[in-house]
Structure 1
Amino acid sequence: MATDEQGIAQARHEASSDDTPPRGRGTRVRRQRVRAAWLFLAPMLIVLTAVAGWPLVRTFWFSLTDASLSSLDGAQFIGFDNYLVFDDGWYGILADPLWWQSVWNTLYFTLVSVSLEAVLGVIVALVLNAHFRGRTLVRAAMLIPWAIPTVVSAKIWAWMLNDQFGIINHLLLTIGLIDAPLSWTADASLSMWAVIMVDVWKATPFVALLVLAALQMLPNDCYEAAKVDGIHPAKVFFRVTLPLITPALLVAVIFRALDALRVFDVIYVLTSNAASTMTMSIYARQQLVEFQDVGYGSAASTLLFMIIALVTVIYLYLGRRQLGGEQ
């Protein structure tokens, strides 16, 4: 047991060793590099502020008014009434059960889909990292689901999941797993799992691609040392490989979590405005477009932004703390 621990420690040390300069060296040069970096980033930050900051501020302003799609110029300031107001009862978006249902649907969709994508992405990356005949062809084929536009792939799956002539029901009926066709996108108990399945099918290659890039950057010395010491491959994966690819996996997960929290297209194509799968983005779109209530819809969009920002900050803090603890 002690030999295994020493071998794993040696392998991780060899894999993570680098030629970093001693602390305190080049402090002046470091400050100059930081100033130069900010100087080069300044034009991009100015453009980003103009492109993204102004619409965000304007959306927040509309959330404080009674603006409608037909009369934006005649909007009146009403404060936070779109969020929550008491007038012989609580009214506003924070008192709307459908809003909280959409928040729960979004968080549930994000947690389940991103977790499955992370696990399957690591498995696929490990398979593609192995040496076998036709590996290049398999890698190219793996990217096809990710390369297809989301609306197109969602529409393809909508036909495949159709309860009358979809191929999914046909296959399940043929092998005897079901006795009658299932309404995958209409049944409230199945629709969420249907959209999760479609999202996992499309986004798993993205996670696998990032993890595969991290795997190919790992040195072979650590694995040779572990093999010489006779350490079991499963222990090598959990004690050596997984900690070393964690930074890449965290990047993939945060990108996928951001996409999942603001998901709209795949769910709207498959289930439209169904309450069982309604997300925060679909809720905001319904208020803005169908009900033409710009103030209420802007309030929903502002809350969506705040929730995504909060989840991102918490995730980055926990990820940095975990990586700092490992180092």
Structure 2
Amino acid sequence: MEARPVESGLVRARIRAAWIFLAPTLVVLLAVAGWPLARTIWFSLTDAELGRLSEARFIGFANYLERYEGEWLGVLADPLWWDAVWRTLWFALVSVGLEAVLGMVVALALNARFPMRGLVRAVVLIPWAIPTIVSARIWSWMLNDQFGVINHALMGLGLIDAPVAWMANADTALWAVVIVDVWKTTPFMALLILAALQMLPTDCYEAARVDGIHPVRVFFRVTLPLIRPALTVALIFRALDALRVFDLIYVLTANSAGTMSMSVYARQLLVEFQDVGQGSAASTLLFLVIALLTLSVVLLGRLKLDGEAAR
């Protein structure tokens, strides 16, 4: 009975110490991320333009949605915005899904024992180490319809009869962006999954080997449930990157309306149209989409894990 006050005092001391250690990080995050976000939200409520930020006037939510003379105006009334939203969601779903599958395959292969395994692990990380702008430019040359090595190889294999202008068509251009993104970021996914595989206990695998259980069944019944937390973190990180994709699409396809993402749309309003108000509104909506999706994934994962723990 006397241990409870001591334990509660110890818990309070630990919580207080945790907040003390977290305080500098929170202050830095507030200065680096909080202030620009708050400023962007404020500009989204004004009629600010790039050349006269100091003269911005408060106009409420007109940049988001407003009915003027019988016509709906604002970012939410722009069909290009909704096309960019669905295109970005499609890109994130396809690219992250492919990266998860391929990353799992690569991680399982690198987790096996074979000669020069360390060298192979280092080589696999090269695409991820290359800056995105550089890799996008390299792939734009490779996909060029006149001198690109991709067309040359496909024609040599007899798969196509004439060079394909990959970036001239919206469908092929978007798939080309997905391929480049998968090529670059699959090593990142594989690295996180490999780290989780390295932490797994070996006794359960030895017992399964002795019992003669098929490796595929061991993977789905043992390996996958054990690495699920690390896999969830990897998926969240990659989904965040995919939803705010900008540099890859902009370098490969520029301002093409058929491949425009939410970030490219916001950049067009901010820089080319110099409409800071609507550009900030688009940026704020992008932040809200990413925040809601991330929160949903985290809550669903927590509920699923709590339900499994309860059973």
**TM-score w.r.t. structure 1 length?**
0.91
Gaps of 5+ in 2: 1-5
Query: How far off its partner does 1:235 sit?
Result: 0.5
Equivalent AA in structure 2 for residue 37 of structure 1? A
Q: Secondary structure at the match of 1:131?
A: coil
Identity %: 70
Aligned counterpart in structure 1 of residue 106 of structure 2, from 110, 124, 134: 124
Q: Secondary structure at the match of 1:197?
A: helix
Aligned counterpart in structure 1 of residue 24 of structure 2, from 43, 47, 50: 43
- Which position in structure 2 is the counterpart of 1:31? 12
Equivalent AA in structure 1 for residue 211 of structure 2? D
Query: How far off its partner does 1:29 sit?
Result: 2.5
Matched, 1:302 2:284: yes
The separation in 2 between residues aligned to 1:62 and 1:276, in whole angstroms, is: 28
Per-residue CA deviations over 1:248-291 (Å, capped at 9, x if unaligned) read 11111100000001110011000011111100100000000000
Query: How far off its partner does 1:318 sit?
Result: 0.9
Segment of structure 1 superposing worse, 182-191 or 203-212: 182-191
- Which position in structure 1 is the counterpart of 2:42? 61
The separation in 2 between residues aligned to 1:122 and 1:104, in whole angstroms, is: 27
- Which position in structure 2 is the counterpart of 1:255? 237
The separation in 1 between residues aligned to 2:181 and 2:78, in whole angstroms, is: 28
- Following TM superposition, the consecutive aligned residue runs of length 4 or more in structure 1 with deviations greater than 3 angstroms are 25-28
- Which position in structure 2 is the counterpart of 1:313? 295
Q: Secondary structure at the match of 2:60?
A: coil
Matched, 1:205 2:187: yes
- Which position in structure 1 is the counterpart of 2:148? 166
The separation in 1 between residues aligned to 2:207 and 2:144, in whole angstroms, is: 53
Aligned counterpart in structure 1 of residue 53 of structure 2, from 63, 72, 75: 72
Segment of structure 1 superposing worse, 26-35 or 107-116: 26-35
Gaps of 5+ in 1: 1-24
- Which position in structure 1 is the counterpart of 2:256? 274
- Which position in structure 2 is the counterpart of 1:143? 125
**TM-score w.r.t. structure 2 length?**
0.95
Per-residue CA deviations over 1:111-133 (Å, capped at 9, x if unaligned) read 00000001110110000000111
Per-residue CA deviations over 1:96-152 (Å, capped at 9, x if unaligned) read 000001001110000000000011101100000001112111101000000000000
Equivalent AA in structure 2 for residue 253 of structure 1? L
Matched, 1:108 2:108: no
Matched, 1:226 2:208: yes
Query: How far off its partner does 1:323 sit?
Result: 2.1
The separation in 2 between residues aligned to 1:36 and 1:212, in whole angstroms, is: 33
Q: Secondary structure at the match of 2:114?
A: coil
The separation in 2 between residues aligned to 1:148 and 1:175, in whole angstroms, is: 29
The separation in 2 between residues aligned to 1:224 and 1:325, in whole angstroms, is: 29
Distance change (3 Å), C-alpha of 1:240 and 1:27: farther
Query: How far off its partner does 1:32 sit?
Result: 2.0
Query: How far off its partner does 1:26 sit?
Result: 4.4
Distance change (3 Å), C-alpha of 1:55 and 1:127: same
Equivalent AA in structure 2 for residue 295 of structure 1? G
The separation in 2 between residues aligned to 1:220 and 1:27, in whole angstroms, is: 38
